[in-house]
Chains A and B, each alone.
Chain A
């Protein structure tokens, strides 16, 4: 009897292990690039979307899906939430061969950690389709995108294209324009302007800067941008992501940390920011409880429903640092890239979704109604983001947001140490030493 039980256990385990294999390898043929539009047929497709349920941004995409269903008989577009919280489950679906037809965060040409899906043949190379002439403009579809976003769309080695940007996220400094005007404060262009503005806001009884203490990367935005100015993107990327050299080699790293320490010691951050999550911090900014917030340009579309009608929003690029040896006119950005599943059952329809979402017409409506910044040429700046066109226009280069830290080995090291600095647990020099030790540990250099 005992033997029977043991044999049963083994048999059940082996059967279950065998059943856990990967999904099928059936890969439908991709359509010819020159004729893909003539192959579009209605049917079900599942499309990843970044806005949450109940937001105006999602309602907009619902309308795009409804229009497509009306135009192409039999089309049924299922919109699936694909933002940060949903990624682990969605990636698991991809791994089991059940990826969405169109999805986000599957590729970023500037981030080595996000090349794997393309390298393993899971994503459709979009370049042949993007090189086709667009019916409306008469120029190749690829040419409709701002050249600055090509680095995000292209594989750095093969130069194939695996992502098409539905919108652009820029890290910018938002300020309460009315509060600034009322207190005679000029929008900060330099670091000295920023610290002076912080002092004046404090004197006026307003916390200068809203920030969340419950999400470390958003605090890290400050040092990321400072290091871009004091060290430069390339050098900082080498040290933080590639593990080359030491963070103590370039004095700009310490300079950036000291500037953070200066802000902290001024009491420039929102009262109780350590226990405030990002939604509350953003809401407090729009309630006039803080004068500035460093955030992605998605802030306006994300908070659209809670921004008071009379709120006057101002936008400037991250302040320059006098004497900084880094990139003074660079800007941290991320393109929200849509990728197409190479194993999709209806690739032409998936491509059609991507084409419609990135058309000048849709992008213009989206900018005007929702406030999204577009990566498509000839699309106006969102009216809810006054001055964004000037900000983008004055940036000489777009650099990948967070230096790609979120997917790197150094993620566990850098942002927690920055948090300790901002929380007053250590000073700039101690932070630098802790970063040096942590980076050496993860990179073994």
Chain B
């Protein structure tokens, strides 16, 4: 009797969340799948073509290249993001002189708009008018000066760096919260036993934060797969496609070429890839739950 009453009360509580899920996730997903099975004219007339768009994707070198760049961006970005974010969060978890200032300093870029940050870094990266190359030359490191956004060897990393610089504050905050919830008695015990801070970090703290790190990594993968604004503003996908990701290619195909069906097919493939990758990461990085 009680169980039946419980069930009845669950429904009204679930409905608002379900309505939002349906409106902002299920409907767009079904609609995207629907679009991907059609071909569009520039004026929006659609014709059902079945799985043609998916077959087109298989032999499309631009899609393959953008997919490769998306993976590269995810990996390069993870390498640029996690080591410094963990280091900063770890440092901030200790008693530190000027801690508030450092917290502000790390978090401040987060509040700037992507457009402002992109334009500012575009200027900083400029080969002759910018600040980076002249600074390197001033320090006697002229050999390291590059045409950052204009060289296919550096453009993707340069844009990824800006994206990481802009968002690292959020990751630091999340990691700080993780560090703060670690049991102090375990850490103190390790210190009494003579373990150094480095040893404590790698052998105790990080293993205890495995679940949080797994979640953050999945979040990073999802965010990187959707990379768009920084690339669109800073390089437009160039030079010659070296920074083109699935997100920017999808936008160009949909809105510049009005090929909505093909772009939708790319979107569906991207969603599937993200789900698969998230599942794999969850499986590979899953650890026994720690109680503390």
* B150 and A271 contact, CB distance less than 8 A: no
- Residues from chain A with Cβ under 8 Å of B43 in the complex: 94-95, 116-117, 120, 122
A13-B27 contact given A22-B44, A91-B258, A275-B147, CB 8 Å threshold: yes
Chain B, residues 42-75, CB within 8 Å of chain A (1/0): the string is: 1111000000000000000110000000000000
Q: Are A274's CB and B23's CB within 8 A? A: no
A255 to B128 alpha-carbon distance, docked (Å): 32
Q: Are A214 and B238 in contact (CB under 8 A)?
A: yes
What residues of A have a CB within 8 angstroms of the CB of B7 in the complex?
A: 1
Find chain B residues with CB under 8 A from A419 CB.
Answer: 238-240
Is B102 interfacial (CB-CB < 8 Å)? no
Q: Are B22 and A13 in contact (CB under 8 A)?
A: yes
A275, B27: Cβ atoms closer than 8 Å:
no
Decide: B150 and A5 in contact? CB cutoff 8 A.
Answer: no
A416 an interface residue at 8 Å Cβ cutoff? yes
Contact A13 B30 (CB under 8 A): yes
How far apart are the CA atoms of A276 and B150 in the complex, in Å?
7
| A423 & B150 in contact (Cβ 8 Å cutoff) | yes
Contact of A309 with B by CB under 8 A: no
**A113 CB within 8 Å of chain B:** yes
Residue in B27, B45, B150, B254 whose CB lies within 8 Å of A274:
B150
Interface string of B127-142 (1 = CB under 8 A from A): 1110000000000000
In angstroms, Cα B257 to Cα A91, docked, is 11
Contact B241 A214 (CB under 8 A): no
Taking the closest CB of chain A, its distance from the CB of B146, in whole angstroms, is 8
Cβ-defined contact, A275 with B238, below 8 A: no
Residues of A in contact with B, size category? 35 or more
CB distance from B41 to the nearest CB of A (A): 6
**Docked CA distance A213–B148 (Å):** 12
Which B residues touch A17, using CB under 8 A? 27, 30-31, 34
Please report whether the interface of chain B is mostly helix, strand, loop or mixed according to DSSP.
loop
With contacts A9-B26, A17-B34 known, is A214 near B147, CB below 8 A?
A: no
- CB-based nearest B residue for A5: B18
Q: Which residues of B contact A280 (CB under 8 A)?
A: 126, 129
- Is A275 within 8 A of B240, CB to CB? no
At the interface, yes or no: B125 with Cβ under 8 Å from chain A? yes
- B19 at the binding interface (Cβ < 8 Å): yes
Instruction: Give how many B residues have a beta carbon under 8 Å from the other chain's beta carbons.
Output: 42
What residues of A have a CB within 8 angstroms of the CB of B239 in the complex?
213-214, 216, 274, 419, 423
**Bound state CA distance, A272 and B132, in angstroms?**
13
Query: Does the CB pair A214–B18 fall under 8 Å?
Result: no
Q: How far is the CB of A107 from chain B (nearest CB, A)?
A: 11
Q: Is A304 an interface residue (CB 8 A)?
A: no
Q: Is A66 in contact with chain B by the CB < 8 A criterion?
A: no
Residues of A within 8 A of B127 (CB): 271-272, 274-276
The reply to whether A274 and B151 contact each other, CB–CB distance below 8 Å, is yes
Do A116 and B41 have beta carbons less than 8 Å apart? yes
Query: Within the assembled complex, what's the spacing in Å between the Cα atoms of A20 and B257?
Result: 21
Contact A275 B150 (CB under 8 A): yes
Could you tell me the distance in whole angstroms from the C-beta of A104 to the nearest C-beta in chain B?
Answer: 15
**In this complex, which of B31, B62, B150 has the most chain A Cβ atoms within 10 angstroms of its Cβ?**
B150
How would residues 240 to 276 of chain B score, 1 for a CB under 8 Å from any chain A CB and 0 otherwise? 1100000000010011111000000000000000000
Smallest Cβ-Cβ distance to A441: which chain B residue: B61
Known A122-B43, A214-B149, A275-B150: A12·B26 in contact at CB below 8 Å = yes
A416 contact set on B, CB distance < 8 A: 238, 240-241
The answer to whether B150 touches A13 (Cβ under 8 A) is no
Q: Are B150 and A272 touching (Cβ within 8 A)? A: yes
CA distance A214 to B128 in the complex (A): 15
Instruction: List residues of chain B with CB within 8 A of the CB of A272.
Output: 126-128, 147, 150
CB < 8 Å: which of A117, A216, A271, A420 contacts B42? A117
A216-B27 in contact (CB<8A): no
A420: chain B residues within 8 A (beta carbon): 240
List 8 A-B pairs, minimum CB-CB distance, nearest first: A272-B127, A274-B150, A275-B150, A88-B255, A95-B44, A275-B147, A416-B240, A116-B42
With A88-B256, A116-B41, A216-B240 already in contact, 4 other A-B pairs whose C-beta atoms are closer than 8 Å: A91-B258, A95-B43, A120-B43, A416-B240
5 cross-chain CB contacts under 8 A: A16-B31, A96-B44, A213-B147, A277-B122, A284-B129
Residues of A within 8 A of B (CB): 1, 5, 8-9, 12-13, 16-17, 20, 22, 87-88, 91-92, 94-96, 113, 116-117, 120, 122, 213-216, 271-277, 280, 284, 407, 412, 416-417, 419-420, 423, 425, 441
Chain B residues packing against A (C-beta within 8 Å): 7, 11, 18-19, 22-23, 26-27, 30-31, 34, 41-45, 61-62, 122, 125-129, 147-152, 235-236, 238-241, 251, 254-258
